[in-house]
Amino acid sequence: MSQASASPDKRDVTGVLLLDKPQGLTSNQALQRVKRLFAARKAGHTGSLDPIATGMLPLCLGEATKLSAYLLKAEKHYRVTARIGLKTDTGDATGATVLERPSERLRRAELEAVLERFTGEVEQVPPMYSALKHKGRRLYKLAREGRTVERAPRRVWIRSLEIEEYSPSSPVFAVRCGSGVYVRTLIEDLAESLGALACVSALRRLGVAPFGEASMVTMEELEAAAARGRSALDAMLLPADAAAGELPAVRLSASESFYLQRGNPVAAARGMQPGAVRLYIGAQQFIGIGEVTLDGQVAPRRLLRPQTLV
């Protein structure tokens, strides 16, 4: 989560923006452009997209940054185009060629025969070109130095993997998966299981649960709104509780809220399953995240600052 130090020309603005990230920008570059447009004192993204990728990059501004973990863990939906017959050092078409077989093709029946192997809980070895750390250093920095280190495989969840458009040299897949999945690695592993080479030539994130493609805002739309003034720009934001929109809600009375916001659990969730919940005073005033305990009480977990609770 990126943050900026206090500055007199910055302002406290809270909300969630579903940016349609343009190709060629890193997630941090896109974040910084948006942050400047909003003159936001604090902002961060909820899981990065590769520069080659376009599509949904949820950005949290202000107090909404406290809720970014819920979008980071949410299910993702991608459309990915593979280039068969090419292996690169990054796993996508922006990297240096490692090996090439220009005439290599894959039949549809071959692809369909292995799709099931790559759904459900699967193991992935993270790529060297990733933001994971090894002894305190980002893997991609080591990769740029020509170094390769051993990476332990990780178990990740892929809900579905389907052929969206078939081509023997550039098939397009639809992927729905949990957090931590490297789509580049998925494409490489799928091809390798058939004795072939592949890399990602195009990638678009279509959604981050519960949000779909229609919810996104482009950089051009943001810049046009900024030209009309801050009120038009702020209208592009979703409320902070959108970041945790899939959690059940608990409505608190004024007295329950008083005690809870001072660190005390309150008996406001009888009959609810234990786990994280969104907290509201009355019908609409969102105050943060709580945790339902086995005895039906709600304890505070991540509360927003009172001045944002309007």
* Short-list 147, 143, 121, 117, CA closest to 131: 143
Q: Are 183 and 78 in contact (CB under 8 A)?
A: yes
Number of separate helices (H) and strands (E) present in the chain: 8, 17
In a 3-state reduction of DSSP, which class is residue 29?
helix
> Residues 114-118: contacts with CB within 8 Å, 24+ apart?
114/190, 114/193, 114/194, 115/161, 115/162, 115/163, 115/190, 117/193, 118/158, 118/161, 118/186, 118/189, 118/190, 118/193
In a 3-state reduction of DSSP, which class is residue 105?
coil
In a 3-state reduction of DSSP, which class is residue 214?
helix
Q: Count CA atoms within 13 Å of residue 309 on its CB side.
A: 15
Please name the amino acid found at residue 124.
Answer: Q
Tokens describing residue 210: 């519960």
Q: Are 28 and 45 in contact (CB under 8 A)?
A: yes
Tell me the catalytic residues: 50
Q: For 250, phi and psi rounded to 5 degrees?
A: -120, 125
